[in-house]
Chains A and B, each alone.
Chain A
């Protein structure tokens, strides 16, 4: 008997495919197409310029600064959000902290739920050079020489922005690790206990290998997030002073909407897409996800 082709599940998938196509795939293709044209929102027609904008992309100093900043973002985020969050999660799951863990989990998670605009405003008060908490604190403990206009100094601006992101996102990643750690069968820890393993040994020999899969997912979230980052630098510094805290997304936005160059903004968007796609592919390849061993 010939097996009947299952039509129903495909029909059920159609609406979501339709939405994905309309809101993701078609804009993506259109963006790629737009990057070969020179136009702004006022113009009635698009002028075909071929590869000129891609050439411009390679000569654009701001793009280089942005990529460097995005990389700084990615590296620092991986260090803080993957390693730190994992350590935090395993501490919270430790027997010693059983009683206070639920409270602490909430405390760490609260920043994730606050709107990024609110957080950015909050941090602009913290970083304020005249009456900001950070400088006042440094003065209080006698480190006045460290005080500086955090967001107004070209060397510290991008790091100040990154620091805020770490504070905000560590809660989410910790939460994901906690869930993963809770899934680890207790027998493994018991066996380790019998073998006489201490806390640190258990962390490296049981916890770490068991959360590998979650770690990969978090790595993906963090790295692609760092390449696409927009809100934080846009609200805190708008890429300034000069271009010192510019990221690709902010550069794209300003090119398109402030500098009226939609075509070139599309080119930058394509570059951003390619970068995040490449990173995602590398990570999927390296970690061979889905094949749990």
Chain B
């Protein structure tokens, strides 16, 4: 008798386990009747964007009563990881946000991303409003896989009051920039330039821009392609030396803080110059009360690269291969002129939709930045998205080591060369 009860318990336990393992397959037929469920995944669980997108979802659901939108969001780095996991199986959400260039290319290589070229051609009223040049980061082999939305650019933000007080102007060339930094230092600003070097991406933004200034465009294009990358050009060493020289102005503090801390120092008026994204304009304004302007990374006079390219790449939306028709409608809704205009007002980040950013709805500083983005002759992608991530990692960690004097530009390049040779 006892034994039988024992057996029964064991059987019950085992069936429980096995049942739990197998219950995954039953939620396929979710969309009963006419209701369509769209899974929406974005990377802004923080305000103001979370509320903005919650509001947009509500509006879309009201306009389309048969559509239900499930939303999920996680922050930046976790988003990158989660999307990678989702794309490796069939759970990819119907519509989700993506960065451009390598990040997008990696997702596309999984074969689970919907090509959008037909959609773009079929509705030119909608797609014609999107600034043409911003498609580039989402287009691979002439097929476009993403719709760009937010746009960005990286520039040196400088504290106008301090510059006036010390008597310096925004520099035009790199040599002038060094002079300006020296003068600021002489005027008592011990660390005239600060960066949160614990954030690896902040280093990659510097390097991407510097390489664009000093390396010949053809060589750069060749090295940015993982198939042909060699990094044998001498100019890379020069580029790293420039970075190293700049870190000497950052002080010891920089290796121990993150970019946010650096931004707060700038907002508090402690630091005269900081390399920031236009997306951060509102944050600087919210955190403090400094009068600031910006200048692009100055021309390197003896550099072989482009003198005035602007670093910055768009972010946008992608659809999964099996996304329903309603998800396409939702995508158009998210990138419409009305949504974009409202977005500028609420969030402040610039976007790629014509009429989305106007003098009326953007604040003056953002509008000035918007003009810079539109006028820039050439844009450079974020370095960590432009090259193979392992290569980028060597540069980023090497950058940290350079700042603390643990390595030399030659050693970094050597390591990169042996990495790409493999």
Using a CB–CB distance below 8 Å, which chain A residues touch chain B? 7-8, 11-12, 14-15, 18-19, 41-44, 127-130, 148-154, 237-238, 240-244, 254, 257-261
Contact = CB atoms under 8 A, between A and B. Distances in A.
B6 A12 contact: yes
Interface of B: 2-3, 6-7, 9-10, 13-14, 17, 81, 84-85, 87-88, 106-107, 109-111, 197-198, 200, 252-257, 389-390, 393, 397-398, 400-401, 403-404, 406-407
B10 A14 contact: yes
Given A129-B256, A151-B256, A244-B406, A238 B198 contact: yes
A7 B3 contact: yes
A240 B254 CA distance: 13
Contacts of A240: 198, 200, 397, 400
7 contacts: A7-B3, A15-B14, A42-B109, A149-B252, A241-B255, A258-B389, A261-B390
Contacts of B200: 238, 240
B198 A237 contact: yes
A149 B256 CA distance: 6
A116 to B, nearest CB: 17
Given A42-B110, A241-B400, A128 B88 contact: no
A8 B10 CA distance: 9
B198 A18 contact: no
Contacts of A237: 198
B405 to A, nearest CB: 9
A129 B255 CA distance: 10
B397 A152 contact: no
B401 A241 contact: yes
Contact of B252 (A15, A42, A129, A259): A129
A259 B393 contact: yes
A12 B5 CA distance: 11
B111 A44 contact: yes
B256 A242 contact: no
Nearest to A6: B3
Contacts of A128: 256-257
A150 B397 contact: no
A15 B363 CA distance: 63
Contacts of A241: 197-198, 255, 400-401, 403-404, 406
Contacts of B407: 242
B255 A152 contact: yes
A154 B14 CA distance: 52
B88 to A, nearest CB: 4
B25 to A, nearest CB: 18
B105 to A, nearest CB: 10
A238 B200 CA distance: 10
Contacts of A150: 256
Interface centre among A43, A148, A149, A150 (most CB of B within 10 A): A149
B396 to A, nearest CB: 9
Given A7-B3, A8-B2, A241-B400, 10 more contacts: A8-B7, A11-B6, A11-B10, A15-B10, A44-B110, A130-B257, A152-B252, A238-B200, A243-B397, A260-B84
Given A42-B87, A259-B390, A259-B393, A152 B14 contact: no
A189 B22 CA distance: 60
Contacts of B6: 8, 11-12
Contact of B88 (A8, A42, A130): A42
B255 A153 contact: yes
Closest 7 CB pairs of A and B: A152-B256, A152-B255, A149-B256, A242-B401, A241-B400, A11-B10, A8-B6
